[in-house]
């Protein structure tokens, strides 16, 4: 923390003395600072024509927002799992496997009922909380700096990436083993679409946020 404050202080003093950003960046890089740290330190000050350097809002932690984002991402996970489970059940119904144990076949209705119940409850909550947080960020752009939001977003990206990697490994393993079936391919497609959509959306949202901070 002390190192970051030292770097931020140097950038602030340089900007206050009228040095341009390129000069400050070059001298810090020659001094051995990490390019990413230098970029983040410079991004901490807005490019506004004013006699003094104007700091940007810093990431913050709020218990209230922690609760909101935990609800948001929890309902997202529940909805995604329930939707995937429902599609799995429908695939199993459309392409039955004689090797499946009898108890799994007999529990089809119960599994579908649980999936539908989860979607009916969790998905509307996710949509509502997502809409509420989006409106809040449009009213106050500083809410995008919430530490909880960023941590949970990156955690979601990590989970989605792991699922996609696991799915790719399972697909390659089935191809090499000569066990590729329509039933298996549909399940792979289901996981890929759900996890890929979540991964793609939140990655796009993070990149959009980074571009907005740079401008």
* Tens of pLDDT, residues 21-75: 889 999 999 888 988 888 888 888 888 888 888 887 776 677 888 999 999 999 9
Average pLDDT, integer, range 197-201: 95
Q: Which residue has the higher pLDDT, 154 or 62?
A: 154
Taking a C-beta distance cutoff of 8 angstroms, is the pair 32, 22 a contact?
no
Please say if the pLDDT value at position 214 is more than 70: no
Q: Is the pLDDT of residue 1 over 60?
A: no
Annotated domain spans of the chain: 2-55, 63-214
* CA torsion, ordered 150, 145, 128, 72, to nearest 10 deg: 30
pLDDT of residue 73: 96
Task: Tell me the pLDDT band of 197, cut-offs 50, 70 and 90.
Answer: very high
Q: Which residue has the tokens 């946020």?
A: 209
What was the pLDDT predicted at 213?
60
115 within 8 A of 87, measured Cβ to Cβ: no
- Is residue 85 within 8 A of residue 117, CB to CB? The reply is no
pLDDT at 102 over 70: no
Question: What's the pLDDT score for residue 104?
Answer: 60
Confidence band (pLDDT; 50, 70, 90) for 194?
Answer: very high
Average pLDDT (166-191) is: 87
What value does the mean pLDDT take over residues 191-211? Answer: 90
The answer, yes or no, to whether residue 162 has pLDDT greater than 80, is: yes
Q: What pTM did the predictor assign?
A: 0.73
Q: Is the pLDDT of residue 169 over 80?
A: yes
Say what the pLDDT of residue 117 is.
96
Provide the mean pLDDT of the chain.
Answer: 86
């Amino acid at each position: 923390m002390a190192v970051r404050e030292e770097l931020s202080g140097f950038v602030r003093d340089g900007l206050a003395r009228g040095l341009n950003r390129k000069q400050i960046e070059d001298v810090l890089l020659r001094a051995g600072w990490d390019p990413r740290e230098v970029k983040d330190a410079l991004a901490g000050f807005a490019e506004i024509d004013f006699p003094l350097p104007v700091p940007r809002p810093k990431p913050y932690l709020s218990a209230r927002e922690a609760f909101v984002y935990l609800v948001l991402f929890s309902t997202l996970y529940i909805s995604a799992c329930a939707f995937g489970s429902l599609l799995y059940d429908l695939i199993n119904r459309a392409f039955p496997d004689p090797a499946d144990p009898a108890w799994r076949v007999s529990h089809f209705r119960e599994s579908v009922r649980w999936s539908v119940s989860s979607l009916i409850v969790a998905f509307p909550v996710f949509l509502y909380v997502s809409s509420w947080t989006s409106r809040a960020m449009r009213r106050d752009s500083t809410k995008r700096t919430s530490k909880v939001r960023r941590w949970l977003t990156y955690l979601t990206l990590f989970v989605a990436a792991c699922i996609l990697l696991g799915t790719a490994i399972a697909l390659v393993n089935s191809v090499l083993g000569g066990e590729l079936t329509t039933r298996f391919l549909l399940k792979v497609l289901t996981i890929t679409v759900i996890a890929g959509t979540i991964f793609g959306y939140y990655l796009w949202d993070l990149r959009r946020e980074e571009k907005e901070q740079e401008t």
